[in-house]
Structure 1
Amino acid sequence: RHDSLGVADGVGGWEGVKNANPALFSRKLMHYSYIEVEKYENIEDYEFVHYYDINPVDILRKSYTQVLEDAYVEGIRGSSTACLAILRDDELRVANLGDCGLAVVRRGEFVFRTEEQQHSFNFPYQIGTGCADRPEDAQVFAFKVQRGDIILVGSDGLFDNLFDEDILEEIQRYVPQPTTPATPSPPTLPPEAIARRAKSVSEESRFTTSPFQNRAMQEGFYHQGGKPDDITVLIAVVADLEDSPDRR
């Protein structure tokens, strides 16, 4: 969609549990989130008149309810973290539950970052079957964005393996430094480059350091190198409505 981004990351702690499928749980969560957001542009739907009132926590809550119903019918178990962002005019509305994350880059610097939610080290907030956490537990943010701002959303596999300066370095490979604040950024950026760099760190256990390693050490755990994990990266650039290929 032109006005929203979302990432859900199935929690790996279900490994070995009968009928557990956290990957499917997370995919369904984003599938139903997409359906819920679509309702706000359907003139025949009740939500159409509430277009500017959309709340990402409400979207997560409704999606979560649908996934739980599917899980009951299909007999699956699982849980997921999630980060959902929706743009209305110049306001970016964010709901972040767990250790996925969102960042906004403006003229080569981070101007906004979410913070991860952890019950304890490497035990993120999550929603799923048998979980005490709820969508309402998500952190909620509203941030004013500008034309040319770069919005980056990723799973913990990204932020556990790359420091902020690593992410900015990859972004700046594709975005030349603007000569004036009004200079727009390119319409697209390859998130694959950032994901590849994070994956490279995640597979290295001897000759590199990582944010996850630093946090582990702070908590009294020994860990060397990156953290092997699934890595998801989404990137969008804020544009004026007339610049958008979707004018709805």
Structure 2
Amino acid sequence: MANAEAVVSSEEMDFDAQMLLEKARTATTSIGAATVIVALLEKNGSLHGASVGDCGLRILRRGRIVFATQPQQHYFDCPYQFSSDPGGQSAADAVVFKTDLEQGDMVVLGSDGLFDNLYDQDIESVLSTIGGPDQDSAQRGANALAVLASKHSRDTTYESPYTKEAIQKGFDVPWYKRILGHKLTGGKLDDITVIVAHVVKEKHPSFSDKAIIDPAAPNLQDIGVGISPFSDSPPKDGVEEPFLEKFSQG
């Protein structure tokens, strides 16, 4: 992600999220793989993004999720992996998306530790209580989502999105336990990274040489980040913290 940030800071990307991923991948020499998501805000209010694996993005409008990315998996619990290794997934394998933002929208990005432990209605419920839009409320929202996801990840009785999908894919407790009324439950212990951003309009944004903002267009600002590395060991899918380009300072 440091390479992605460096590319955005030093080059004109023309809001091509897939190109951003490929340039970051080319600049990476470290061995390993990770799921990844990037999002770029165009000055007309369009959000461009690309994702490899099971990191995710949600857009809330008037308290309801109106846009959601879909995870990529080879099979259950084995997401696509963005890697510098020729045998891994590249930017060509990314899911590319574009959607228009409106003033008042909220953008949520997270690692799979968030979405494996919270349903979309949970995200809506948590963010309905934070107020805003301002940086403090975005930070409260990110922290609250990370804390709740962590709580659910440790709850062996919680019927999580992760175990629900596992059952749908054919994983369950043995038949003799099902006869006794037992069922597969529990969250997924994992690292949890959350970014929450408000979409606002600024009459007088802070301009820079790299980002000239249309004063009438929506801007992503007041970003809050919640990180909860609660797993006892590094995650097997090596999730990195998502990166969200911020065109103007609040």
- TM exceeds 0.5? yes
Match of 2:8 among 9, 19, 37: 37
5+ residue gaps, structure 2, are 173-183, 209-250
Amino acid at match of 1:140: V
Amino acid at match of 2:25: Y
Match of 1:94 among 39, 49, 63: 49
Is 1:247 the counterpart of 2:215? The answer is no
Alignment of 1:47-196 (within 5 A): 47=12, 53-67=14-28, 70-71=29-30, 77-89=31-43, 90-128=45-83, 129=85, 131-175=87-131, 185-188=132-135, 189=138, 190=140, 191-196=142-147
Partner of 1:221: 171
Match of 1:211 among 149, 157, 161: 161
The structure where strand makes up a greater share of residues is 2
- Alpha-carbon distance change, 187 to 56 in structure 1, aligned in 2, over 3 angstroms: same
5+ residue gaps, structure 1, are 1-29, 41-46, 72-76, 176-184
Offset of 1:130 from its aligned partner? 5.3
Give, in whole Å, the separation in 2 of the partners of 1:228 and 1:66. Answer: 31
Aligned length: 191
Instruction: Give the secondary structure class of the aligned counterpart of 1:167.
Output: helix
Amino acid at match of 1:194: L
The structure where helix makes up a greater share of residues is 1
Amino acid at match of 2:164: N
Contact 2:118–2:149 (Cα < 8 Å) also in 1? yes
Give, in whole Å, the separation in 1 of the partners of 2:167 and 2:104. Answer: 37
Which structure is richer in relative contact order (CA contacts within 8 A, separation 6 or more)?
A: 2
Offset of 1:247 from its aligned partner? 3.0
Contact 1:79–1:131 (Cα < 8 Å) also in 2? no
Give, in whole Å, the separation in 1 of the partners of 2:90 and 2:122. Answer: 33
Give, in whole Å, the separation in 1 of the partners of 2:204 and 2:87. Answer: 42
Amino acid at match of 2:153: S
Match of 2:193 among 232, 237, 241: 232
Offset of 1:131 from its aligned partner? 3.4
Instruction: Give the secondary structure class of the aligned counterpart of 2:27.
Output: helix
Contact 2:15–2:41 (Cα < 8 Å) also in 1? no
TM-score scaled by length of structure 2: 0.73
Instruction: Give the secondary structure class of the aligned counterpart of 1:131.
Output: coil
Amino acid at match of 1:86: L
Give, in whole Å, the separation in 2 of the partners of 1:217 and 1:233. Answer: 26
Contact 1:241–1:247 (Cα < 8 Å) also in 2? no
Contact 1:33–1:59 (Cα < 8 Å) also in 2? yes
Instruction: Give the secondary structure class of the aligned counterpart of 2:103.
Output: coil
Offset of 1:160 from its aligned partner? 0.3
- Alpha-carbon distance change, 94 to 116 in structure 1, aligned in 2, over 3 angstroms: same
